[in-house]
A and B are shown apart, each in its own frame.
Chain A
Amino acid sequence: MAATFDAGKGDWMSRHLSDDVLLEMAEAGKSHPHLTQCSRCRQQMEDARDALGLAREAEVPEPSPLFWDHLSSRVHNAVEREVLEGRQGVWTRFARVAWRPAVAVALGVILVVSVVWRMGPALRQPETRSASARQADVQPTANGSSATDSWAGADLLAPLSDPAWVVIAEVTWGLEIESAAEAGIVMQPGASDRAIAQLSPSERQELVRLLQSDLDGPSL
């Protein structure tokens, strides 16, 4: 870089002009006394002026007159898309922020309800029974039987919830004891006594009631 010109010291003829001064002269086409004496500064200034002249002549090719409206339309459409996408972006962000947790919570609730629904009887039964059973043991019903009977019935029916038992029940429905005997399905000796011995008092009472009603009914 050329040395800075300092006019205050009066030695401007011996010092090179600064870039600023050379540039100003090149751009404005001015001259300076120093340039008549200093070939280096003169050369730098002339180079800058030549380059500036050549650069100024290098025009940009002019596009078609129709191009400008085309460019405006492109920009307009791009801005429209930008605005549209911005709106969709807001919705998308809302959906991402607000709906994702909501959906997750909803799915969680469905899952919990489903599990409770499936496991509900198993979860509810022991607790309910223990509460009811405690009362049934001390409060006989009007017909003399205790509420435990209903639970005994429930226990007897419980196997029916097993699909295998349901199939067997359907197959044997309406099968008479005589038909079973003819088919070779017979009880072992003493099996009735063992079965009755395994009944609870309430079950025995129910058996008595059934036999009694059967005996009281019309004879065949």
Chain B
Amino acid sequence: MERVERLWATPGTSLARLVAQRGCRAGDPGLPRQGSRLDSARTMTAGEGGGIAPALVDLDERRLVAACLEGTREAFDVIVERHRRAVYQLCYRFVGNHEDASDLAQEVFLRAYRGLKNYKGDASLGTWLYRIGVNACLNRLSARPPVAEPLETSESVVDRDLDPASRLLQQERSKRVRAAIARLPKRQRTTLILRVYHELSHQEIAFIVGSSVGAVKANFFHALQNLKRILAQDPV
């Protein structure tokens, strides 16, 4: 264990090199693969001398990114697993249907993989992925307007404890609010989505949209005012 910790503490040491020192590589046929790819990531733990290297799933973002850049693609699977729900939900907030949202989520991760070498760590990996996601979504919206999903195919997490009538009412309300949000100007909409549904700080949103914190606050406040106005025209 001490040896492994020494390796991690040594500058330039990475998971890929550590695995290479074991005499195997991630993804080699000789490496046990059970079930999902994350299982294989979890098996990459044994080190020589009785030490146990940190499993991929236990690595922090910086080390995961380093492992990806060293060629350990299972590390990127871990990143995807950690952020897939947030990225999908972000995309859904913009496009309003499952199919486009899942396509966009895939695109976001693919863009992230391509640009991983440019990730400097000045923001969290999640915030960086949000920035990629927002750009991808806005580009998609500019290319073609989204098609909202029919109400009957939607089911919310919070719906499940409600009786059918209340559930239907809530679904209808959610749909109207999402439609109202979709009518907001892009910057206001982006700010509202990131702030309300992803609970990002004003600073993080400023990083994502590339503006000042003051501008983000003003956009958010105007977004709420406009949302109220739109919903007043079409009462929930």
Residues of chain A having any CB pair with chain B under 8 Å = 1, 19-20, 22-23, 26, 44, 47-48, 50-52, 54-63, 67-69, 71-72, 74-76, 78-80, 82-83
> A residues within 8 A CB of B192?
55
Whether a CB of chain A sits under 8 angstroms from the CB of B76 is yes
For A75, give the chain B residue with the smallest CB separation: B109
> B residues within 8 A CB of A59?
156-159, 174
> How near does chain A come to B114, taking the closest CB pair, in angstroms?
7
8 more CB-based (< 8 A) A-B contacts, given A71-B84, A79-B73:
A47-B228, A48-B228, A54-B231, A59-B174, A61-B149, A63-B102, A71-B102, A79-B110
Contact status B88-A71, CB under 8 Å: yes
Interface residues of B toward A: which range? 35 or more
CA separation between A57 and B176, bound complex, in Å?
11
For B109, give the chain A residue with the smallest CB separation: A75
Residues of chain B having any CB pair with chain A under 8 Å = 36-37, 73, 76-77, 80-81, 84-85, 88-89, 92-93, 98, 102, 105-106, 109-110, 113-114, 149, 153-159, 170, 173-175, 177-178, 181, 192, 196-197, 214, 217-218, 220-222, 224-225, 227-228, 231, 236
> B residues within 8 A CB of A47?
224-225, 228
9 sample A-B contacts, Cβ–Cβ < 8 Å, listed by A number:
A44-B225, A51-B224, A52-B196, A55-B196, A57-B173, A61-B155, A71-B106, A72-B77, A78-B106
> How near does chain A come to B91, taking the closest CB pair, in angstroms?
10
Contact status B73-A83, CB under 8 Å: yes
For B93, give the chain A residue with the smallest CB separation: A60
CA separation between A74 and B106, bound complex, in Å?
7
Contact status B98-A61, CB under 8 Å: yes
For B175, give the chain A residue with the smallest CB separation: A58
Contact status B227-A63, CB under 8 Å: no
Known: A61-B154, A72-B37, A82-B110. Is A48-B221 also a contact (CB below 8 A)? yes
- Please give me the 3 A-B residue pairs with the lowest Cβ-Cβ distance, nearest first: A58-B177, A61-B154, A59-B156
> A residues within 8 A CB of B173?
54, 57-58
CA separation between A59 and B156, bound complex, in Å?
6
CA separation between A83 and B76, bound complex, in Å?
13
> How near does chain A come to B56, taking the closest CB pair, in angstroms?
14
Contact status A68-B225, CB under 8 Å: no
For B173, give the chain A residue with the smallest CB separation: A57
CA separation between A80 and B173, bound complex, in Å?
41
CA separation between A97 and B153, bound complex, in Å?
52
Contact status B157-A57, CB under 8 Å: no
Contact status B157-A62, CB under 8 Å: yes
Contact status B37-A51, CB under 8 Å: no
For A83, give the chain B residue with the smallest CB separation: B73
Contact status B36-A56, CB under 8 Å: no
Known: A63-B98, A82-B114. Is A22-B73 also a contact (CB below 8 A)? no
> How near does chain A come to B195, taking the closest CB pair, in angstroms?
9
